[in-house]
Amino acid sequence: MYQSFIGLEVHIHLLTKTKVFCACRSAFGDEPNTNVCPVCMGYPGVLPSLNLEAMRMGCTVARALNCRIPEKTWFERKQYFYPDMPKNYQISQFGSPLGQEGYVMLEGRNIKKQVRIKECHLEEDAGKMIHTGTVSLLDYNRAGVSLLEIVTEPDMETGEEAELFIQQLRRTVRYLGVCDGNMEEGSLRADANVSINLPGKGLGKKVEIKNLNSSRFVRLGLNYEIKRQGDLLDQAKTVTQETRLWNENRDQTEPMRTKENAQDYRYFPEPDLPVFTPDKAFLTSVEAALVELPAPRMKRFEQDYGLNREQAELICDEKALADYFEEAVAAAKAQGLDTRDGAGRIANWVLTDIKHILGREGLSSIGSFRLKPQWLATLVVMVARGQVSMKNGKQAMDRVIAEDREPEALIREAGWEQLSDPVQIGKVVEAVYRAEAAVFVQAQAARAEGNQKRQRSLSAYLVGRVLEQTGGRADPKIVGAQIELLIQTP
Ligand code: ADP
Ligand code: MG
Ligand code: ZN
């Protein structure tokens, strides 16, 4: 068998309001060629100036990936010609990128390994080419948009690991609020490099799969390549060093261009941009932007709230959801519920009913959800205390959302408070006892015969009748005990 090596180059669009070296609006989906100016159109003689917000966001990602921010960082011109790049060079970083020598821990099902980050560098995106029939159209709205490239060392071995890397990174940059992570719109895209070799022989000849716009394609493309390259070596053939593309209709990679040698981009320092020396205030603002990241947060949720791995992962997938959860847990605790008890209950509500409602209402994030975390806490506490049945509690939640009002009064007005007074329940049980005398006799007979299954189903029926009579308000535990007593002692 062969050893495989995978290194990723991931590009993310930073959520800066303006482009990286000019004041043009940075937005997806605007009318083509409306967000352009002489700077990003590459007119001669204009001066780029650095968007400090882009630098800060880039450095924040670098720090989240455990990279070192160098004392000085600067920009180079990377020269090449392509119609989507009107300057004929791209301003990028080469000699001293803003983030260097970091690492991340990949952690997932059956995967646990460290992946070294080679560097993070800030650059400008190119425009967009649209090919229609015999003409090609160019939209320069994207030219000059802030792009951060994250480059890993070739430390991954399988398509699954690379897929997990992309998923973790996507979650991280969304947590940091620096990228929307939308792979379909191209806000996060990856080039995947892969080679194989005999064990112990080091890196092989690398193939680059370009422009993967889904983490699934990253996995599929890489696993396809590992197999393809293995077949070639098995037949004593050699792997050509080249760039390939993933064809999602044929589920295979296909050659795009062969790169004999590394291209010579004639990098040289961008003369129009000064060297950037991060000062103390800048570095402090970077550290301040580092929120608790998804991985440690998941661990904390498991430890402090007693959630299982899957619950923690689902809740921590999105920062807003994790924040919402923690606010609800804190509110339930303030109302006297034990933290872990509350957390377990709230996790269940969030991951079933609330996810369902969000889906039904077409809300992609909990940010704009009308059910305040405090209100969810009140509902959960009332159920935990037996003040409202689970069923009525869930029904109340729908009304709370529809009417946008606090649950306690709503439950009282609707008459949904749980009935737990044994005397009051006893009266209803007695009425059912009279109306369903025949069933009681059958249940007693089943008990005498030792037919537990039949006895249970008959008593469940009787409990159901009592609940029905009380509009679902009677505490089923108390009802059950009273019915049982009547069956045992006729
Ligand atoms: P290039 O100069 O061709 O862009 P780099 O050294 O910048 O190459 O590496 C680009 C990416 O390719 C990095 O993520 C790196 O880890 C990966 N890579 C480099 N060499 C190999 C190899 N032989 N096999 C697999 N991945 C590789
Ligand atoms: Mg490279
Ligand atoms: Zn511009």
Tell me how far apart the alpha carbons of residues 340 and 47 are, in angstroms, rounded to a whole number: 58
**Mean pLDDT within 386-394:** 89
Strand locations in 49-98 (E): 76-79, 89-92
Ligand closest in space to the Cα of 47: 3
Ligand 3: centre distance to CA 130 (Å)? 20
- Give the ligand 1 atom nearest the CA of 204: 23
Over residues 163-192, the mean pLDDT reads 96
Q: Which atom of ligand 1 is nearest to the CA of 195?
A: 24
Residues 407-447: tens digit of each pLDDT: 999 998 888 888 888 888 888 899 888 888 899 999 999 99
405 CA from centroid of ligand 1 (Å) = 57
| Ligand 1 nearest atom to the CA of residue 8, by list position | 14
Statement: residue 77 has pLDDT above 70? yes
The predicted structure's pLDDT at residue 320: 93
Structure-token pair, residue 451 = 């037919």
Kindly tell me if the per-residue pLDDT of 22 is higher than 70: yes
- Say how many Å lie between the CA of residue 23 and the centre of ligand 3: 6
Q: Which residues sit with their C-beta closer than 6 Å to ligand 1?
A: 5, 7-9, 151-154, 193-195, 203-204, 206, 262
Please tell me the distance from the alpha carbon of residue 169 to that of residue 173, in angstroms, as a whole number.
6
pLDDT, position 389: 86
With bands split at pLDDT 50, 70 and 90, how would you rate the model's confidence at 472?
confident
325-329 contacts at long range (C-beta below 8 A, 24 or more positions apart): 325/350, 325/373, 327/373, 327/374, 328/373, 328/374, 328/376, 328/377, 328/380, 329/305, 329/377
For the chain, give the mean pLDDT: 93
For 72-94, what is the mean pLDDT? 94
- For residue range 391-410, list pLDDT tens digits in order: 889 999 999 999 999 999 99
pLDDT at 334: 96
Question: What is the residue with the minimal CA distance to atom 25 of ligand 1?
Answer: 194
Reported confidence tier of residue 100, pLDDT bands at 50, 70, 90: very high
Reported as a single tens digit per residue, the pLDDT across 300-352 is 999 999 999 999 999 999 999 999 999 999 999 999 999 999 999 999 999 99
Quote the Cα angle for 403-404-409, to 5°. Answer: 80
Which atom of ligand 1 lies at the shortest distance from residue 194's CA? 25
Tell me the best of 193, 198, 229 to mutate to test the pocket of ligand 1, counting ligand atoms within 8 Å of each CB and taking the most. 193
Report the nearest-CA residue for atom 1 of ligand 1: 262
What pLDDT is recorded for position 490?
A: 61
265/34 Cα distance (integer angstroms)? 30
